[in-house]
Amino acid sequence: AAGVIQSPRHLIKEKRETATLKCYPIPRHDTVYWYQQGPGQDPQFLISFYEKMQSDKGSIPDRFSAQQFSDYHSELNMSSLELGDSALYFCASREGYNEQFFGPGTRLTVL
Amino acid sequence: DQQVKQNSPSLSVQEGRISILNCDYTNSMFDYFLWYKKYPAEGPTFLISISSIKDKNEDGRFTVFLNKSAKHLSLHIVPSQPGDSAVYFCAAILNRDDKIIFGKGTRLHILP
């Protein structure tokens, strides 16, 4: 069965650089969620989209933005990267009121 | 403020025995509770869920118990198998279409 795809799987950036993370939800899933998991921390909700519109917003810094495109894939754009942005970034997708299915994550390291 | 709490960072259980993972929550408005399992280098995988109107849900070797008065839920795995070694996240949502609020996770080690 198709799963949530995230790219890249690993990303290394310097401070103040920009990063773009991509998420391709499971086919027919109309809702996408982004979570950030810092070292030793629980995943924290960042932002979600339903039918290409932002549906909820969590603890997402102003330096980050995201959008969902017409093919339902989503991109998380991160600018002016800081050391504290180093984390695992998970994308999850959902169809209707079913459970969220998570992708493998993108590990971002900011040097 | 942690709304979903897993107070045991790790747990070791003998293979074949019962594993019991505990979770407490503070928000009585949570409508739905979930358990996710996570292996290294993979995303969380949905394991089992329970609605707030139920007190038990069973799926094969996995059973989740909910005690609303105590704001406590637990995941029972019986019998425990080596492949069960992973990090288990307790999670809750307010509505079925809502974001997930995770606990910090419990690392389960199944001993041979």
Residue A1's pLDDT band (cuts 50, 70, 90): low
Distance from CA of B110 to the nearest CA of A (A): 21
Report yes or no: B34 at the A interface, CB cutoff 8 Å: yes
Among the partner residues B43, B46, B101, nearest to A99 by beta-carbon distance: B46
Cβ-contact B37, B45 below 8 angstroms: yes
Question: CB under 8 Å to B38, separation ≥6 — which residues?
Answer: B44, B45, B86, B87, B88, B89, B105
**pLDDT tens digits along B8-34:** 999 999 999 999 999 999 999 999 999
**pLDDT tens digits along A64-73:** 999 999 999 9
Lowest mean pLDDT among A11-15, A38-42, A88-92: A38-42
- What number is the average pLDDT over the span A24-47? 93
Question: CB under 8 Å to A40, separation ≥6 — which residues?
Answer: none
- A37 DSSP β-pair partners: A88
pLDDT exceeds cutoff 80 at A97 = no
Report yes or no: B45 at the A interface, CB cutoff 8 Å: yes
A102:B43 CB<8 A: yes
Residue A66 to residue A48: CA distance in whole angstroms: 9
Find, among B62, B55, B56, B66, the residue nearest to B24 by Cα.
Answer: B66
pLDDT exceeds cutoff 80 at A19 = yes
Pairwise pLDDT comparison (B40 vs B103), residue with the higher score: B103
Report yes or no: B64 at the A interface, CB cutoff 8 Å: no
pLDDT exceeds cutoff 80 at B110 = yes
Find, among A108, A51, A52, the residue nearest to A77 by Cα.
Answer: A108
Specify the pLDDT at position B62: 98
Specify the pLDDT at position A59: 86
pLDDT exceeds cutoff 70 at A33 = yes
Which residues from B are below 8 Å from A26, CB to CB?
none
Pairwise pLDDT comparison (B56 vs B95), residue with the higher score: B56
Residue B47's pLDDT band (cuts 50, 70, 90): very high
B97:A97 CB<8 A: yes
Cβ-contact B6, B22 below 8 angstroms: yes
Q: CA nearest B107 in A: which residue?
A: A40
Q: What's the longest Cα–Cα distance across chain A?
A: 39
Specify the pLDDT at position A98: 78
Residue A82 to residue A33: CA distance in whole angstroms: 22
Which residues from B are below 8 Å from A92, CB to CB?
43, 100
- What number is the average pLDDT over the span A35-64? 93
Cβ-contact A94, B95 below 8 angstroms: no
**pLDDT tens digits along B65-96:** 999 999 999 999 999 999 999 999 999 998 76
Specify the pLDDT at position B73: 97
Report yes or no: B96 at the A interface, CB cutoff 8 Å: yes
- Give chain A's contact residues with B (Cβ, < 8 Å): 4, 6, 31, 33, 35, 41-45, 48, 50, 56, 58, 90, 92, 94, 97, 99-105
Structure tokens at A34: 């982004």
Distance from CA of A100 to the nearest CA of B (A): 8
Report yes or no: B50 at the A interface, CB cutoff 8 Å: no
